[in-house]
C-alpha cells in the first residue's frame, strides 16, 4: 500500500538532477494522482518521458514553461496541492557573466511561484536553497539568499489563505549536474587533476538523501521554517585522491566568488535555530503562524555562538568513504 501524501504535486525544474530523482521517489513511494513536471526544456522532458515508462508513471504530466512567466505558472498550478520549487540558474560563472538572467529566474521567478501558489490556494510550497545563500560571495548565492527571504516571508502575504511556504537548505549534491566528480573523472585520463585549494571543504549529500529529506520536511513544515540536514563534510583534495590516487594535483587557486569553506547556519541565525536530532530548523523571526514554534518544542535551542559550517563540522567523510560513495554515482 502506498503511503498517504499529496495527490496533486508540481515540481519546478522537474527535469533537473533533483527533480528527476524526486519524481521517481514520489511515484514509487506514494502513487500520487497527478505529478506535474514543470520545466522549460522540451528535450529533457521527452528524454525523461522515455525513461519513466509503465503503468505507475502514467500520473506524470509534462508541462512546458518558465518560472519567469506568471501567467503560465497560474495555469500549471491549477488544482495543485503541493509545489516543490527546484528551478534555478545555479552555475556560478554563468551567473557572474549573466547577472540579469540569474536575477530574473532566481528572484523574480521565485516571486512568480509565490504569487501563483497564492492565486491557486496551493497547500504547501517547499523551496530548495543552498549553502551558498549564507554570507554570499557570488551572485548566485545572493539571489538564493533573496529567494529564501521571499519564501519565508511569503507566509505574511498568505493572510487567511491556506498556503504555507518553507525552505530546505543543503550543500553540494553528489552526482548532480555541475558536480566536481564528472570533471575529475574526465581529467583522470590526463593524469592531472585541478585543485582550487588543498584546504577547501564542502558539505556533501547524495541525491537520494536530499530527496528523502525534502519529503520529510514537507510532512513536518508549518510555514516559515528553513530546514538544514546534518550532513558530513569532505575535503576537495580527499575527493581527488579517492577518485584518482594515481594523478598529480595542480593547485589552480580559488575562483572568483568561491569560498574556502561553506556555511549553512550563520551565527546570526543561531537565536532562532533548534537542534532536532538529525537536522536543524531555523524558525522565522516573525510570529505570523502561531503554531510554528510549538511544532519544535522537542528540539534543543543551539548556543548563541553556534555556526554550522563545513570546516568545524563534527562529521567527516574519509577517502575510503568517498571512494565508495563516488562509485555508486
What is the pLDDT at residue 227? 98
Mean pLDDT for the stretch of residues 188-213: 92
- With 70 as the cut, is the pLDDT of residue 206 above it? yes
Domains and CATH numbers, the chain: 8-171+205-230+264-309 (3.40.50.720)
Locate 262 and state its grid cell.
561553506
pLDDT at 326 over 80: no
Strands (DSSP E) contained in the chain are 8-12, 34-39, 60-64, 82-85, 124-130, 164-170, 172-174, 192-195, 201-206, 226-229, 233-235, 248-251, 263-265, 273-275, 279-282, 300-301, 308-309
DSSP string, 189-234: TTTEEEES-TT-EEEEEEHHHHHHHHHHHHHH--SS-EEEE---EE
Active site residue 132: yes
pLDDT band at 285 (very low <50, low <70, confident <90, very high): confident
pLDDT at 40 over 80: yes
pLDDT at 173 over 90: no
Give the per-residue pLDDT at 294. 84
- Considering 124, 132, 144, 259, which one is annotated as catalytic? 132
CA angle in degrees (0–180, nearest 5) for 287-163-209: 90
User: How would you label 38-68 residue by residue, b for 16+ Cβ within 10 Å and e otherwise?
Assistant: bbbeeebbeebeeebeeeebebbebbebbbb
Does 90 or 294 have the greater pLDDT score?
A: 90
Neighbour tally for 150: CB within 10 Å: 20
Q: Which residues contact 318 (CB under 8 A, 6 or more apart)?
A: 238
Query: Tell me, what's the pLDDT at 200?
Result: 95
pLDDT tens-place string over residues 52-88: 999 999 999 999 999 999 999 999 999 999 999 999 9
Residues 316 and 233: beta-carbon distance below 8 Å: yes
Using the Cα atoms of residue 130, residue 136, residue 141 and residue 142 in order, give the sign of their dihedral: positive
Please report, for residues 90, 102, 135, 284, 288, the alpha-carbon distance to residue 291 in angstroms, rounded to integers and kept in the order given: 34, 35, 29, 12, 9
165 exposure class (CB count in 10 Å sphere: 0-12, 13-18, 19+): buried
Q: Is 89 left (phi over 0), alpha (psi -120 to 50) or beta?
A: beta
Q: Which of 15-29, 59-73, 227-241, 312-326 has the lowest mean pLDDT?
A: 312-326
Q: Say whether pLDDT at 249 is over 70.
A: yes
What CA–CA distances, in Å, run from 205 to 83, 131, 178, 237, 305?
Answer: 22, 12, 14, 17, 25
- pLDDT of residue 43 exceeding 90: yes
Q: How far is 295 from 272, CA to CA, in rounded Å? A: 14
The share of the chain scoring above pLDDT 90, in percent, equals 80
Amino acid at each position: 500500500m502506498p503511503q498517504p501524501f499529496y495527490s496533486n504535486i508540481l515540481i519546478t525544474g522537474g527535469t533537473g538532477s533533483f527533480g528527476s530523482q524526486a519524481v521517481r521517489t514520489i511515484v514509487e513511494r506514494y502513487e500520487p494522482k497527478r505529478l506535474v513536471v514543470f520545466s522549460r526544456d522540451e528535450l529533457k522532458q521527452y528524454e525523461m518521458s522515455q525513461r519513466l515508462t509503465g503503468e505507475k508513471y502514467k500520473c506524470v504530466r509534462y508541462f512546458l514553461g518558465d518560472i519567469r512567466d506568471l501567467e503560465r505558472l497560474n495555469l500549471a498550478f491549477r488544482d495543485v496541492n503541493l509545489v516543490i520549487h527546484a528551478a534555478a540558474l545555479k552555475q556560478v560563472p554563468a551567473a557572474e557573466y549573466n547577472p540579469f538572467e540569474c536575477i530574473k529566474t532566481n528572484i523574480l521567478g521565485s516571486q512568480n511561484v509565490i504569487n501563483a501558489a497564492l492565486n491557486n490556494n496551493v497547500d504547501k510550497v517547499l523551496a530548495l536553497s543552498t549553502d551558498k545563500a549564507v554570507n554570499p560571495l557570488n551572485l548566485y548565492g545572493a539571489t538564493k539568499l533573496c529567494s529564501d527571504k521571499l519564501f519565508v516571508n511569503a507566509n505574511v502575504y498568505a493572510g487567511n489563505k491556506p498556503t504555507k511556504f518553507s525552505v530546505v537548505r543543503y550543500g553540494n549534491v553528489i552526482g548532480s549536474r555541475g558536480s566536481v566528480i564528472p570533471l575529475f573523472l574526465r581529467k583522470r585520463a590526463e593524469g592531472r587533476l585541478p585543485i582550487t585549494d588543498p584546504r577547501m571543504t564542502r558539505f556533501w549529500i547524495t541525491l537520494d538523501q536530499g530527496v528523502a529529506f525534502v519529503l520529510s520536511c514537507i510532512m513536518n513544515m508549518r510555514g516559515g521554517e528553513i530546514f538544514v540536514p546534518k550532513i558530513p563534510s569532505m575535503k576537495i583534495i580527499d575527493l581527488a585522491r579517492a577518485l584518482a590516487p594515481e594523478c598529480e594535483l595542480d593547485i589552480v587557486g580559488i575562483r572568483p566568488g568561491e569560498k574556502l569553506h561553506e556555511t549553512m547556519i550563520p551565527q546570526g541565525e543561531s537565536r532562532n535555530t533548534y537542534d532536532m536530532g538529525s537536522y536543524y530548523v531555523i524558525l522565522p523571526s516573525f510570529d505570523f503562524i502561531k503554531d510554528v514554534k510549538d511544532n519544535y518544542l522537542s528540539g534543543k535551542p543551539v548556543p548563541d555562538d553556534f555556526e554550522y559550517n563545513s570546516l568545524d563540522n563534527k562529521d567527516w567523510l574519509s577517502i575510503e568513504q568517498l571512494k565508495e560513495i563516488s562509485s555508486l554515482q
